[in-house]
Chain A
Amino acid sequence: MEYEYLYKRRFDIKNNLISNKSLLINYDIFISAYNSSYRVNYLIDNIEANEKHIFILPEYNFESEELANLEDKFNLFKFSTFDESEVFLEYFRNHILPNIDKNIIFDITGFLRHHIVYFIRLCKQIGIKKVDFVYSEPIAYKNKENTKFSRDFQYVREIRGCGGSHSVNVSNDYLIIGSGYDYNMVLNIAKEKKKTKKVQILGFPSLQADMFQQNILKAYQAEEEIYPKIELDSKDVILAPANDPFVTASLLSKFVKKAEQVNPITNLYLCPLSTKSQTLGMALYYIFECIDKSVSIIFPFCSGYEKETSEGISRFWLYTVEF
């Protein structure tokens, strides 16, 4: 799979306007998950679509009065379930299958990582041909490397539909973690899969110049659980652009192939905890190369996520995925 051949385009925001907006088509369906970040709201307001489907996820814990201004403007889909398959399976039946040939754009910015992965898995399963994904970049995270994203870790499990059939031979198991600021989650996943070789994907170049250093600071805190220790020139670190899912998928694919040449990987676990773009990349790698193999995407599930973690919007990316 040549991931780099997939189409991506950058859209800058200048004076609060999309600089090359004419390049955006008019979509049939725009799908987004609401939270309080400016960048999520900016895309909801500025991307043209015939229907705007806004998901209200229980993890953000919104009160109904906080959603009052959305009720009249958009098609809201409210959920109380934390299970990603329960969020999307019915929705797909009712809204995606009847519109399978329409132009769909999915904003990954506000969705949680397990939703993004499951959405892509489902697209592949039901045979959708093409979806545009959009991801908006913040100017900064609120508290730099100490920004809190998730609350109350619950358990680790595979993301629905992404469980492989694993081998009883665990002698050369790998855990590849897309490592982000939420290092407590990195710790939780590393502890769950203790007897694995741990590889971290770090976002480089990062979204903003200072974010790579901030990411490294957090990665060092997980060092004891991620033996051996982190060294940036180590073979156990994959440096992939924080905003490029296709290069991420490509590097991931190359890494696994290279590791397989040295010693066949017995079981592979992937865990997306870095940027949503890299999450998209990991999911693409999974659906194109890992289904029906001893590969799973696992995730540390939490009962809550912060509604607002970032400041502003610097630009956004459009990624066109042809399944």
Chain B
Amino acid sequence: MKSFKDNGESSVSKSGFKQEIGLFGGVSFLGGIMIGGGIFYLGSYVLMRTEFNMGLALICWGIGGIITCWEDFVLRKWAQ
């Protein structure tokens, strides 16, 4: 796996997939998957769980993002 060379130039990878997704495509793919209907109703569940403390609720949303980023780093860096 270490000998893998990035062939960013070619339009079809060795395995036969077309390489058509760029940076904006990657971000929108993630945005498309991650931002679902949840943004519109999960806030209510979070408020119920913090006993309607709004400050704590916002902190929890932040922690959720930090956990997600942290998991990403653990996964990606350790695979090296």
Is B a genuine binding partner of A?
no
Enumerate chain B interface residues (CB-CB to A < 8 A): none
